[in-house]
Structure 1
Amino acid sequence: MRGSLPVSTLTGSGTRSRHWFVRFSAAIAHWAGTSSAFVVAALVVMIWAVSGPLFHYSDTWQLVINTGTTIVTFLMVFLIQNTQNRDTKALQVKLSELILALEAANNRMASIENASPEELDAAEADIKERAKEDAS
């Protein structure tokens, strides 16, 4: 049975999340991936570099850019991880749906992301073996 696929440009789903951090991280991640964000970052660095002679290339002048970039990087790590986790979970759900929809598929694969490393290695070996058999 096929349903409609509502898609939002902000969160990738038809429903808006009620959790403020999900909405915030989706919006910031979307903006951070634009050329505008790159231009803003490049302008900040250029303004900092041009202001060097004004501040006699002092330790404070260097500390400003080091501190600013460290804080932004620190915060972006969590933002990117949040976005990556959501994207990975969505991809897993989509793949699981496809596996479950195919009669010939091994339904155990639909939840393999929860398997141990050893179970993943065994499943990978099994898939490779089946692919060799199908190619023959």
Structure 2
Amino acid sequence: MSERERPSSKDGGPEKKQPCLVTYFMGDQLRRGTSMHFNERGILVVCQEPAPLNAKLRLVLQFPGMRNPVEVYGEVVWANIHGPSDALTPRGMGVKFVNAERDTERLLAELAEQYPAIGVSYSCYYT
């Protein structure tokens, strides 16, 4: 993408992509987080109260600029509950999607292309 095609902010630099808002349900508990790291197979949710490993979750993903949220189900495959929260090991959890519909997978793959430089290095946490 050339400089001319890149979205820009008011100061002339590239526009900072807003994170996806994530609401997740673990049993009857509702919790929230954000993500900029995902693909059609899973998502890294940055949150203060990650679910434990192997927990089954229902997630509602609200992407910037989209009217309707995306609902998916997943299983926690990585969690940082007690360790430091830094660029290498963010506080949160990696969730692998289960039984996602093909249309949902296709939509998530297209949305992930909007976050390419950000999401790639974290995919090991959720795939």
TM-score range, shorter-chain basis? Answer: under 0.3
What TM-score does the superposition give when structure 2 sets the normalisation length? 0.25
What TM-score does the superposition give when structure 1 sets the normalisation length? 0.23
* Larger-gyration structure (1/2): 1
Considering fraction of residues, name the structure with more helix. 1
Higher relative contact order (CA 8 A, sep 6+): 2
Considering fraction of residues, name the structure with more strand. 2
